[in-house]
Structure 1
Amino acid sequence: MARNRKSRRQQHGSAWHWKQTDCWYYTPSGTKKRQALFDEAGERVRGKDNREVAQLALARIKLAEELSPAGPVKSREWTVAQVCEIYLSDLTKTACPEWVVQCKYWLNDFCGYCGALTVHELKKKHLRTWLERHKTWNNNTQRNVIGCVKAAFNFCCKFDDLDANPVSSYEKPAATARVTCFSPEEETQIYAATNTAHALFLKGCILTGARPYSELAVVTADHVVETPHGLFYLLKARTPDGSFGHKAAKKTGKDRRIMLCDEMEQITRRLILASPKGSGVPLFRTMRGKPWSQSNGVQQFSSLKKKLELAEDRVTYTCRHTFAKRTLSGYYTGKPAGIEVLAGLMGNTPKLCWDHYAQWADDYNDPLWAALGKTKKKRKAG
């Protein structure tokens, strides 16, 4: 016998629970727009078991509508701070911890500037003026910040009762390719100027091309896999607690394999002796035995950069770009690799590697020169 779905529907004006947000809502008669229900303290009514609290909240709304001479009361005025708070509470459950920390910093800074404004009062000029106050943010950072702010308002429009996104049409600046890399001379200077733990961590980033803090810093002996070809680090897309195991896991849903060269294999086997399987201790740690994080890593590299007077665009992530350039140019093996191979080694898509690193790929640039009748000149011996 077919189930009667109509009998399970709530009538307009009744309180109903939405599993997506774990909140209670009601739909006013004559409309299709849901309205959230709030308790006496002004907090959203949450939890499937709080039906009585939701019905009481709905009764207060209906009573206010009946007693109001102007008709039904207007919907609650949203503030910018409330939008950001709701978005961050959901983001904490779905995004990787590094991205959550970054978004919290941006949105808290944004709320410090205009968080008390209502959504109706917020204009694109407020966002532009706030961005102009941060002189050190380049185009790529501004793109991420603008996308984060837009995502907060879009989330409340899609999954809550916010009417419109006031900054939806704000344009992002064009992205700029990251093309910085360490020269062999700079690499030697860095190893000599920093402590052994930091030098080993940076060397691991250069030899593997791994993302410093979301990949290499979390590797333990349990992530090491041995095959007839050699060792590699395996970061699962999902960890046992259900969170994402690496940065690209949410987007690709695939495990991350970090292949190791001979030198990196020797380093790994030595580190496993101090942090064996089952210990859960990261292989790469600071001089004090703490795991590397974006906090202590950035602080350590900033001091190093100041000491050596390195260019401003040199950061820890430059190690990953150095791996890309050396792989494409055949620095270690004498045989240049292609973009597709590099994408597999770095855990990126071929398109992303093409956009960022194609200028270093001789296999793609040489045919362009050859089409103009030019070939690479042979270097003289000595």
Structure 2
Amino acid sequence: MKMARNRKSRRQQHGSAWHWKQTDCWYFTEPGTKKREALFDENGERIRGKDNKETAQLALARIKLTDELTPVASAPSKDWTVAQVCEIYLADLTNSATQEWVKMCKYWLNDFCGYCGALTVQELKKKHLRTWLQKHKVWNNNTQRNVIACIKAAFNFCCKFDDLDMNPVASYQKPAATARVTSFSPEEETKIYAATNEAHALFLKCCILTGARPYSEMAIVTADHVVETPHGLFYLLKARTANGGHGHKAAKKTGKDRRIMLCEEMEEITRRLMLTAPIGSGIPLLRTKHCKPWKRCNGVQLFCNVKAKLELPDDRVTYTCRHTFAKRTLSGYYTGKPVTIEVLAGLMGNTPKVCWDHYAQWADDYNDPLWAALGKTKAKRAAG
């Protein structure tokens, strides 16, 4: 019985020399492609004949050696435009980042491309980026840092994962970050509650009592996130959701679950809200007056209306609730016992360094020893 030939075992790997009986010539196929390339001898003639395998292999070795010794030219960058770089980066970002960050990056990069997107990468200079940033006078230092980081990331991505060989703005320096020092006074808090609807007032109050990030944490909490322990209740936001996404803002960076500890007043509010959004319903505990989930768009618009009505300073925003929690916790506003930066970091889901950079000016436990070294106590400062 004649056995069938095993064609799969005779197939050459891509990058090897192989003979094609139909033309009686030797070829090779580059890895990652399906196009065959003919092999030629030193005289420029096609290598023919099945017995000329060694000659074919020698010709292929010459080709590979030439490719290794030939320096990579910088010509590809001449064909890249700024718009193409941003487009490629956004296509990948959509699959790897949160929707909120993707939306912001799309706005920044589209605006940037509207200014200089037609320029080639070699034509783009740091002065173009500086001039474009100067046109956006409402952007503070923190926003400019994020914008610059986004643009740098787009070029770095194409340099790392594509054929781009230069980042023209790699050395562009970001401005120093501005410390977050705003907080609501008790009087401002009372006025805000009175100037808005009940649902919005409750949302802001919960943010102040927990220190949770308003829209990426507090707005998504459901009864399924509530965990009861002998010490009390807390919200548990997993680092990963069931569909593989990130469960909270810092999940991608830290990979850790977020625990939002609740004071007694917040526990009472939570138990009451769980009656209207029980376990398994998937309904957020905090909702708008129309029973819709809180989103950044409607929350920001509503707070802007309240701020205009009360003529509050421009630096008062919804996120100020989180800073208010930090200031009051550090000063012992609720318990009469100030806490350390390290404890605050655990409560807020930040690192101690982040809390130190932003909130150290409110920490008496660190400032009192400095005053004491100069012979100034709290009593003397109060009398003065």
* TM-score, with length taken from structure 1: 0.81
Match of 2:67 among 4, 19, 30: 30
Shift of 1:31: 5.0
Q: Which amino acid aligns with 1:226?
A: E
**Which residue in 1 is equivalent to 2:252?**
250
Shift of 1:115: 1.3
Match of 1:304 among 292, 306, 324: 306
Map 1:76-87 to 2 at 5 A.
Answer: 77-87=79-89
Map 1:282-321 to 2 at 5 A.
Answer: 282-321=284-323
In structure 2, the CA distance between the partners of 1:34 and 1:234, relative to structure 1 (3 Å rule), is farther
Cα-to-partner distance string for 1:54-85 (whole Å, 9 max, x where unaligned): xxxxxxxxxxxxxxxxxxx9677111111111
Structure 2 contact 76–165 (Cα < 8 Å) conserved:
no
Gaps in structure 1 of 5+ consecutive residues: 1-6, 18-26, 36-72
Cα-to-partner distance string for 1:151-188 (whole Å, 9 max, x where unaligned): 00000000111110011111111111010000000000
Farther-moved stretch of structure 1 (183-192 vs 165-174):
165-174
Shift of 1:122: 1.1
Q: State how far apart, in whole Å, the 1-side matches of 2:335 and 2:13 are.
A: 67
Task: Say which SS state the counterpart of residue 314 (structure 2) adopts.
Answer: coil
Q: State how far apart, in whole Å, the 1-side matches of 2:70 and 2:336 are.
A: 64
Task: Say which SS state the counterpart of residue 88 (structure 2) adopts.
Answer: helix
Q: State how far apart, in whole Å, the 2-side matches of 1:150 and 1:174 are.
A: 17
Q: State how far apart, in whole Å, the 1-side matches of 2:212 and 2:269 are.
A: 15
Residues 1:14 and 2:51 aligned together:
no
Match of 2:232 among 225, 230, 233: 230
Shift of 1:9: 6.9
Q: State how far apart, in whole Å, the 2-side matches of 1:357 and 1:16 are.
A: 54
Task: Say which SS state the counterpart of residue 233 (structure 1) adopts.
Answer: strand
Shift of 1:100: 1.4
Q: Larger radius of gyration, structure 1 or 2?
A: 2
Shift of 1:114: 1.3
Structure 1 contact 219–283 (Cα < 8 Å) conserved:
yes
Map 1:97-176 to 2 at 5 A.
Answer: 97-176=99-178
Structure 1 contact 34–161 (Cα < 8 Å) conserved:
no
Cα-to-partner distance string for 1:238-283 (whole Å, 9 max, x where unaligned): 0011111111101110000000001111111111111111111111
RMSD of aligned alpha carbons: 2.4
Q: State how far apart, in whole Å, the 1-side matches of 2:153 and 2:190 are.
A: 43
**Which residue in 2 is equivalent to 1:355?**
357
**Which residue in 1 is equivalent to 2:184?**
182
Q: State how far apart, in whole Å, the 1-side matches of 2:355 and 2:135 are.
A: 32
**Which residue in 2 is equivalent to 1:344?**
346
**Which residue in 2 is equivalent to 1:96?**
98
Structure 1 contact 13–29 (Cα < 8 Å) conserved:
no
In structure 2, the CA distance between the partners of 1:74 and 1:219, relative to structure 1 (3 Å rule), is closer
Shift of 1:32: 8.9
Match of 2:373 among 371, 374, 381: 371
Shift of 1:28: 11
Structure 1 contact 233–257 (Cα < 8 Å) conserved:
yes
Task: Say which SS state the counterpart of residue 241 (structure 2) adopts.
Answer: coil
Map 1:200-279 to 2 at 5 A.
Answer: 200-279=202-281
Gaps in structure 2 of 5+ consecutive residues: 1-11, 17-27, 34-63
In structure 2, the CA distance between the partners of 1:360 and 1:32, relative to structure 1 (3 Å rule), is farther
Number of aligned positions between the proteins:
328
